[in-house]
Amino acid sequence: DLPSSIIRRLPVRFTYNNNYFNDRYQGIPIGGYTKIFKQLLAGSDVELNVDFIKERHKYINKALKVIFTGTIDSYFDYCFGDLEYRSLRFETETLNTSNYQGVAVVNYTDRETPYTRIIEHKHFEFGTQPKTVITREYPQNWNRTIEPYYPINDNRNQQLYAKYKNLAEKEKNIIFGGRLGEYKYYDMQDTIRSALNLTKEIL
C-alpha cells in the first residue's frame, strides 16, 4: 500500500562500497550528530524531559514562534484519529573483533531476517579501535507509548494528515516541521533542506 517512490531510498549493490547512498557528495558531521547539535545549541536554554503537549500553553505564550517537530496528530489530541507510524527497536552489542561487516550499514531486506539493518558505528569515521560496536535495528509496530520514526504515507494516512494540516494552517505562531510535524518520509538531506527553506521563510 506504500507509494513506490519509497524504494528509491534504498540503493541496491553487491559490493562493499562504504557509502550509504549513491549521491556524489555525502557525509555526516565530524564527531557525529550529538557533537554538532551541542555546538548548534550552545548558548541556548535547553530543557529536557518536558512534555510539550501537556505544557504547550506555557511555551506558546512565552515565544513569538514555536517550531513543533512532534507528531502532528498528538498536537491536536488525535481529534481525527491516530496517524500511523513505524517504530524501531535497537539491540547494541560490543564484539571482541576489530571489524564485523566492513561497512557502516548493511540492510537486510529478506523476510526471514528479523532485523532490517546492522550498523557498525566505527566505520562512519573510519575508526581503528580493537573492538567494534554493532546495533541491530528491528521494525516494530507503533503505539502511543513508544517512539514514532517513520510516517506511513499510504492513501488512508495522507487523507487523515490533510485534515490535521488544515488545522495546523490555522495556528498563529506554531510551525510544524520535520518527519513527524510534516508527516513525510524524509531522508536526512531532505529534512535539512526543509529546515533551511523554513528558516528563510521565517527570517
B/e letters for 106-134, b = 16+ CB within 10 Å, e = fewer, are eeeeeeeeebeebbbbbbbeeeeeeebeb
Determine which one of 9, 89, 144, 156 is catalytic.
9
Catalytic (active site) residue 187: yes
Determine which one of 56, 82, 171, 187 is catalytic.
187
Catalytic (active site) residue 185: yes
Which residue bears the cell 550499514? 105
Catalytic (active site) residue 156: no
Catalytic (active site) residue 111: no
Catalytic (active site) residue 9: yes
Which residue bears the cell 559490493? 15
- Residues 71 and 151: their CA atoms lie apart, in Å, by 9
- Residues 196 and 84: their CA atoms lie apart, in Å, by 27
149 Cα distance to chain centroid: 6
Determine which one of 1, 8, 13, 110 is catalytic.
13
Catalytic (active site) residue 55: no
Determine which one of 100, 115, 149, 185 is catalytic.
185
- Residues 53 and 25: their CA atoms lie apart, in Å, by 38
Identify the bridge partners of residue 87 per DSSP, sorted by sequence position: 140
Catalytic (active site) residue 117: yes
Determine which one of 84, 120, 137, 182 is catalytic.
137
- Asked if 66 and 177 count as a contact pair (C-beta separation under 8 A), the reply is no
Determine which one of 100, 115, 117, 150 is catalytic.
117
Determine which one of 56, 82, 86, 136 is catalytic.
86
Residues 6+ apart with CB under 8 A from 25: none
Active site residues: 9, 13, 86, 117, 137, 185, 187
